[in-house]
Amino acid sequence: MKTRTNAISTLCLSLSVALGAGCCTAAAQGGDLPDREIVTTPAPGHGIVDLAVDPSGTRVAVAANHGVVAPPAGQGGVWIPADFTVELRAVADGALEGRVTCPGGMQLCGVAFSPDGRTLATASADDRVRLWSVPEGRPIRELSGAPSSAEIVRRGGRSPFATAVAFDPTGERLAATFSKGRLVVWAVDDGREILRLEAPEGGGLRCVAFSPDGRHIAASDHWPGVMGRTKPGAVYVWSIRDWKRVHTLRPPAPPPERVASQVDSLAFSPDGKTLAVGYSDLDGWVGLWSVETGLLGRRLEHESLVHDIAFSPDGSSVAASSVVGGVRVWSAADGSLRRTLAVAGGKRRLVRCSTVRFAPDGKTLVGEADGKVLFWGL
């Protein structure tokens, strides 16, 4: 549950320069290659920002921002948007089953299926959350988390963008986080706003997830400029019973010479007792936190910035994707490394796997890289 940011792009560029323009390290390319892939619609500057697997495991939603880079004379390149779409693809053969185009030319930031698979939610940069029918792609409802005019002025003169979306386990409520520090929850059936929660420490919010047991909701903070940050990122956990904050999860501060960890993803275990948090610093790691006590129970080391994490449906495994190290799968019980999955083989340019999801049967891991949806058998 997350969105891409300029800060992460900057850090990825720094890592690319550090590794050299030629190829990734041998360790980064180690592991099992995908068993198959789906190539999405080609487009200049094609970039997948998020994907979701429907509850039946037969369909995948691929959210992408398409555009071109036009370098003005004597200046750096400028990314010019073309279109922003969600493709609905059949998992079996990759056939295009439907398409959703975001109106107004606004970038997509996140996508999620409802628990019954009949509704798709999208988050975009115009501060709108939209609901669509599946697979027709028919617009159902548009929701906004826009602040008042006075608040826009107070927060810097710009309207926020929606960074992530998530349905609750019943499918009756939908939550979204916003770049200006707001978490909004709506009733799905009529679009009624249930509540708004502000980021406890200011700044923005970037990831959101409901616990599968329906007891908690979590969101992570977002502070642009991760390279100069000294305070580790925080995850806030609220009780759904009374919407009061029960935990602020923050790892220990790093030594002065290290970059502080930023939170780029989070996921609850199927039983709702553990919250996995993906951290991005120059190494990258996953923290497994107790939802009951708010204590960090285990730290799982990755090779570089962690972009996304997911629990297997039975809760026995945790998977995390990264900039350089492909995908790693650990045992949730003891933290042992079970599998290392490679995005690409051989020598090639730096390739990051941005999103990772388990199929509902737990036998397949789904990821994304280079505009392709990747499948690994487990």
Domain membership of residue 255 (yes or no) is yes
pLDDT the model gives residue 52: 95
Higher-pLDDT residue of 345 and 243 is 243
**What is the residue range of 338's domain?**
6-71+78-377
What letter does residue 32 receive in the DSSP assignment? B
- Give the mean model confidence (pLDDT) for residues 81-94: 85
**Pure H helices in 1-75:** 6-19, 26-29
In three-state secondary structure terms, 329 is strand
The answer to which of 69-83, 130-144, 193-207, 278-292 has the lowest mean pLDDT is 69-83
Domain membership of residue 232 (yes or no) is yes
For residues 40 and 371, the answer to whether their CB atoms sit within 8 Å is yes
pLDDT the model gives residue 376: 93
Please state, in angstroms and rounded to a whole number, the distance separating the CA atoms of residues 80 and 264: 25
- CB 81: neighbour CB atoms within 10 A? 14
pLDDT single digits (tens) 43-55: 545 578 899 999 9
Please determine, for residue 196, whether its predicted confidence score (pLDDT) is greater than 60.
yes
The pTM for the full model equals 0.84
Question: Which amino acid, 103?
Answer: P
Domain membership of residue 1 (yes or no) is no
For residues 17 and 77, the answer to whether their CB atoms sit within 8 Å is no
Domain membership of residue 245 (yes or no) is yes
pLDDT grade for 164, boundaries at 50, 70 and 90: very high
pLDDT grade for 10, boundaries at 50, 70 and 90: very low
pLDDT the model gives residue 147: 58
Instruction: Give me the CATH number covering residue 348.
Output: 2.130.10.10
Question: Which amino acid, 127?
Answer: D
How would you label 296-315 residue by residue, b for 16+ Cβ within 10 Å and e otherwise?
eebebebbbbbbbbbbbbeb
Strand partners, 306: 322
Structurally, how many domains does the chain consist of?
Answer: 1
